[in-house]
Structure 1
């Protein structure tokens, strides 16, 4: 660990219309360290890193940036990359219909006299993929790999550049526990090679494990920086939210009724490779007032299952039945699924969950327009405004107003807009796919409280999460999915991370 300062940001202030995102923020990063940045949603973490990387160019903010002893005025991301500063955003920037190799070298083409050397591209891509633990063929299209693997491609893409300061915004948010640990090991390996990293993360166990220093940002201001020896979860939480959180998961006394939602003998094949069966005769149920979890490793088929049930949004050759209130329900399209009383909050809010170029108001009401419309189908603007403001308040969306463009919100606040949209639709059953991905501990507690309230109202809740402590903390019952099959079902009170992992391992042995 060195006291040599590679980066210093002084008195950084950044203002958007109606919102002061950063106010006199200060940050010092030591050469060769892994420096973590924590804060609640909307605290300004991602904004600060966008200032550093030139996404917000010099002149759009006030304050100074000194990197490797020199004052820097970055007018775009290419300026910062030339200095060895590479940022990987929380929302991935990959082109779905290009290959892994093409994405990795997009804007950084391996060319001589304007002619790309594709052999060199594929060879170098394969080397970098191996370094981040991916075995995919470099010619595989991005659209054919999952979100977690796409995150690893982004990291490999960063390594393809001469990176000396790597910035990662929630790098493990979409990864399974196993893949998250592998990524953290990679960062430690990069550190041993002399690379400096800045990591934005809400996962306090990860920060405690690998961070040399941590800076807390709250409400656009830098609160404190602490060394590794001083890092404790309680201190981080208190600095982040300005108060202590006695319990991570709110208490609930379940009042569970009759079965409200069933899926029987559900099978799904890959949309591009119909010979591959992704979901294999899945049976599950959710009762009134019950919170049910689906655990599993990345690639187990959890999201594919949820999307196939909700309007057959994924897959082909789908067979099986969906029952709501004991009767077969037609969920063959998204519209029919919503009408039947089903809602699905996607893990990929950027692609499937939101209209990022529209404001909050329209995003909140879009799934239930009849509720804010006249009998003639004309939208009542005042009714829509009241509804949007009500759910903005209920889910604590941090914004200047409901007229703020959704794409300008932090990732966590975008997720709250997704949740608000489906709460306003008033479903009987709500499927939540990674509902707290990229959300800080304070906001997580708010989301858990909302989930509990919905269960108390008699809704059925199905939660997909890569964080096993989360499933154990909020669910009444847990299914374990592995390679498209349900391999275990257990009461949350009788479950543990070890028991879930044993079920997965046994399932792999049976499949072998």
Structure 2
């Protein structure tokens, strides 16, 4: 299948999102679509798949003018969209999620469960995925849920597959498996539109790169004829001197300490310290227990045993409210379900943990609340028309900034960041890194969980590696390398 989009324009009210975009893809190629959050990438793909209708422009598929009325029609015609935010049903099983709305049935209308299971098992085998088909999706990690979305798309026999940040929550091993699958799909003449902010992936997997900026297609180039710096310059309209800004904060005394944290079947005997002004990176494979440890520290999940100390004092954290009261903030990896109230405004999401500070005799000082939200939005460069816009209207990267803003707003002593730059563009990533450095300068103790090894190496003062629920090792910044981290993460010592 060949797709050509020319002069695509789209506005939502007075907000002009696409102002003239040209994009095309040929059968059997991987075409990377890049741009900062808010550049219009997802809107363009939503137009291709029929979720939105273009205001102007032309879409030609296999030589004929064509537009789909809805995503289901697009999928039936061979165009599948794997979204960045998972479209799963938590209360249903993996098998039910794979076939929801597409159940295999006999002539009598009975669901052919055995055939569905066989097809699902074969697809998972091709992906190298080991997930129980009868497991409820709510019990799976974000990475496992992402693999389910990929499997669903592959089972539709799509001719064009759009992948929006497909590796954001995957381990290195899962990423390599995905790349092998993409290579196989290319040999079958399947076209892949690949949206990602991870430069190393783009240059490893794509054939061409189209860069968008502020709703306009800036340039399309063969991947082999461009460079990392060229792409960044086109994306942001300027040079980025350094992807990982230098950190100059003075590391002080121990602020946060854990001793022997244990949760049955999750992790065991987790002991570590974090000092004032220090960024401690937690690395490890998906499912190693990193996120589970952080959830327990914040009181979301209950510990079986272990001790937590804040500024030398032993503390008890039984729920998130107790953690917040102690000055601990937690940016969750799953911002959509756990980090935000999507129907609330940007202002309300930012101010919610700090709302007591704006209350006087039971009344909220809305002017002070608005000033507070405005200040944080400006500091974090949240792209929105108004602080009263619903947070669900923001791009994924800007939603992440809102989550970060609310924890900065409460003046956290300890800040836990679980995949802080997941789904965030290169320019916004650097802003988040700079912000982390500024917080460290103020003496905040930062714990960062990340599956991005260059990020772990570029940002952390110290790296703790988790393997199967245990601390496999600890590396100083001066000795940490990707090879050493991966060796520890896979059980080597």
What's the TM-score bracket when you normalise by the shorter of the two chains? over 0.9
Specify which of 269, 273, 281 is matched with residue 269 of structure 2: 281
Q: Identify the residue that residue 358 of structure 1 maps to in structure 2.
A: 344
Q: Identify the residue that residue 413 of structure 2 maps to in structure 1.
A: 428
- Return 106-115 or 117-126, whichever deviates more: 106-115
**Separation of aligned partners in 2, 1:391 and 1:446:** 13
1:462 aligns with 2:462: no
1:324 aligns with 2:319: no
Specify which of 61, 66, 71 is matched with residue 67 of structure 1: 61
Specify which of 334, 341, 344 is matched with residue 320 of structure 2: 334
Q: Identify the residue that residue 396 of structure 1 maps to in structure 2.
A: 381
Q: Identify the residue that residue 17 of structure 1 maps to in structure 2.
A: 13
- Return 245-254 or 351-360, whichever deviates more: 245-254
| 3-state SS of paired residue (1:493) | coil
Specify which of 85, 88, 91 is matched with residue 82 of structure 2: 88
Question: Offset at 1:318?
Answer: 2.2
Specify which of 282, 291, 296 is matched with residue 303 of structure 1: 291
**Separation of aligned partners in 1, 2:310 and 2:191:** 52
Question: Offset at 1:357?
Answer: 1.4
Q: Identify the residue that residue 235 of structure 1 maps to in structure 2.
A: 230
1:445 aligns with 2:430: yes
1:100 aligns with 2:94: yes
Specify which of 34, 41, 53 is matched with residue 38 of structure 1: 34
Unaligned runs of 5+ in 2: none
Q: Identify the residue that residue 217 of structure 1 maps to in structure 2.
A: 212
Residue by residue over 1:166-196, the C-alpha shift from the partner in whole angstroms, topping out at 9 and shown as x without a partner, is 0010000111122112112211111112111
Q: Identify the residue that residue 195 of structure 1 maps to in structure 2.
A: 190
Residue by residue over 1:95-147, the C-alpha shift from the partner in whole angstroms, topping out at 9 and shown as x without a partner, is 01111111111111111343211111111111111111112222222122211
Question: TM-score scaled to structure 2, two decimals?
Answer: 0.98
| 3-state SS of paired residue (1:116) | coil
Specify which of 482, 485, 492 is matched with residue 497 of structure 1: 482
**Separation of aligned partners in 2, 1:254 and 1:14:** 45
Residue by residue over 1:473-507, the C-alpha shift from the partner in whole angstroms, topping out at 9 and shown as x without a partner, is 11111111111111111211221111112222345
Specify which of 330, 343, 365 is matched with residue 380 of structure 1: 365
**Separation of aligned partners in 2, 1:425 and 1:63:** 46
**Separation of aligned partners in 1, 2:347 and 2:174:** 37
**Separation of aligned partners in 1, 2:47 and 2:344:** 24
Native 8 Å contact 1:370 1:377 kept in 2: no
Q: Identify the residue that residue 170 of structure 2 maps to in structure 1.
A: 175
Question: Offset at 1:317?
Answer: 5.3
**Separation of aligned partners in 2, 1:358 and 1:286:** 34
**Separation of aligned partners in 2, 1:338 and 1:422:** 9
Native 8 Å contact 1:126 1:137 kept in 2: no
Unaligned runs of 5+ in 1: 270-276
Q: Identify the residue that residue 22 of structure 2 maps to in structure 1.
A: 26
| 3-state SS of paired residue (1:135) | coil
What RMSD, in angstroms, separates the aligned Cα atoms of the two structures?
Answer: 1.3
**Separation of aligned partners in 1, 2:73 and 2:322:** 49
1:154 aligns with 2:154: no
**Separation of aligned partners in 2, 1:262 and 1:17:** 51
**Separation of aligned partners in 2, 1:237 and 1:467:** 18
Q: Identify the residue that residue 457 of structure 2 maps to in structure 1.
A: 472
Q: Identify the residue that residue 398 of structure 2 maps to in structure 1.
A: 413
